[in-house]
């Protein structure tokens, strides 16, 4: 599945535990009606899922979908420490599963750990509106997890140089931009910057820039008042035919389809 296929999903966390196990900790064998997503940060535990044994240890991610029969116990000489999320999708009865194995080797990086700790603070303080805030934080965790799983990339800490570059592109997308110019602004070699950009974002500089340009073009066309040629020029495309080809490659439909009065992206 592509990452965009998860965009419509709304999670509801029903239980979160900073689980610091005692030597005799265990989960009694029974079926579950929720998704169990557990990040193991220390110790070891044996999980039995539908009768199959899985040993989880520090650096592992456990995923058990609803409908599974789950049982677990920790090792007395190495009690498990984990962060466990039990969640459902809204509306109920959505059967979408995460694209994860029962046990996945997963490096709990600084940024992800900070997101989990931020969730913990929100969940445990339970201030007014905490459920909305917790859902937003959990969505950020799921997004980072899905990007790593679907693109098969390491969960890298954001590089401030690439973050500045992304912000620059978002503000100046209509200008005549290329990797050489941005490399000069960043004080980096263009080849190195291009490689670093793709490593951090999963796409090339040009693909990232074209997506920003096309999304702005779509919004302008949907608002009305501009022709396709005018929008192409205002969004950094010098050639309207090239613009149309790029637009269709990104969106799956041509910019001319937005010309109908009253069209909005949600109606496609």
DSSP labels for the chain? --GGGGTT-EEEEEEEEEEE--TT-EEEEEE-SSEEEEEEEESEEEEEETTEEEEEETTEEEEE-TT-EEEEEEBTTB--EEEEEEEEEESTT-----S--SEEE----HHHHHHHHHHHHHHHH--TTHHHHHHHHHHHHHHHHHHHHHHT---PPPPHHHHHHHHHHHHHTTS---HHHHHHHHTS-HHHHHHHHHHHHSS-HHHHHHHHHHHHHHHHHHH-S--HHHHHHHTT-S-HHHHHHHHHHHHSS-GGGG-STT--GGG-
Rounded CA-CA distance 58/148 in Å is 18
Predicted confidence at residue 74, as pLDDT, reads 96
pLDDT over 80 at 264, yes or no: no
Contact call for residues 211 and 173 (beta carbons, < 8 A): no
Q: Provide the phi-psi class of 65: left if phi over 0, else alpha when psi is between -120 and 50, else beta.
A: beta
All structural domains of the chain, each given as residue ranges with its CATH number in brackets, are: 3-151 (2.60.120.280), 160-267 (1.10.10.60)
The segment with the largest mean pLDDT, out of 52-61, 185-194, 222-231, is: 52-61
pLDDT over 60 at 256, yes or no: yes
Radius of gyration, CA atoms only, the chain? 23
Average of pLDDT values for 218-242? 89
pLDDT over 60 at 79, yes or no: yes
Predicted confidence at residue 57, as pLDDT, reads 93
Averaged pLDDT score across all residues of the chain: 88
Predicted confidence at residue 262, as pLDDT, reads 46
Rounded CA-CA distance 139/11 in Å is 7
- 134-143, 153-162, 165-174, 212-221: which range is least confident on average? 153-162
For 154-176, write each residue's pLDDT tens digit. Answer: 555 677 888 888 888 988 999 98
Binned at pLDDT 50, 70 and 90, residue 1 comes out as low
Binned at pLDDT 50, 70 and 90, residue 152 comes out as low
């Amino acid at each position: 599945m592509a990452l965009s296929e998860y965009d419509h999903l709304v999670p509801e966390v029903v239980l979160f535990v900073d689980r610091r196990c005692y030597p005799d900790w265990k989960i009694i064998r029974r079926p579950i009606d929720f998704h169990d997503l557990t990040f193991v940060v220390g110790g070891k535990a044996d999980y039995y899922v539908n009768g199959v044994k899985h040993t989880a240890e520090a650096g592992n991610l456990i995923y058990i979908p609803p409908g599974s029969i789950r049982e677990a116990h920790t090792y007395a000489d190495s009690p498990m420490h984990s962060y466990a999320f039990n969640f459902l999708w809204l509306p109920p009865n959505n059967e979408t599963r995460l694209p994860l194995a029962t046990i996945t080797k997963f490096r709990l990086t600084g940024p992800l750990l900070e997101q989990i700790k931020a969730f913990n603070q929100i969940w445990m303080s339970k201030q007014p509106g905490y459920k909305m805030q917790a859902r937003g934080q959990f969505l950020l965790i799921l997004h980072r997890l899905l990007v790593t799983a679907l693109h098969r990339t390491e969960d890298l800490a954001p590089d401030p140089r690439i973050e500045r570059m992304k912000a620059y592109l978002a503000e100046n997308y209509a200008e005549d931009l290329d990797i050489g110019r941005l490399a000069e602004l960043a004080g980096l070699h263009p080849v190195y910057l291009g490689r670093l950009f793709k490593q951090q974002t999963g796409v090339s500089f040009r693909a990232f820039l074209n997506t920003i340009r096309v999304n702005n073009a779509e919004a302008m066309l949907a608002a009305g008042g501009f022709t396709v040629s005018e929008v192409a020029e205002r969004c950094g495309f010098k050639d309207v035919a090239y613009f149309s080809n790029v637009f269709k490659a990104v969106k799956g439909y041509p910019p001319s389809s937005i010309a109908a009065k009253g069209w909005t992206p949600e109606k496609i």
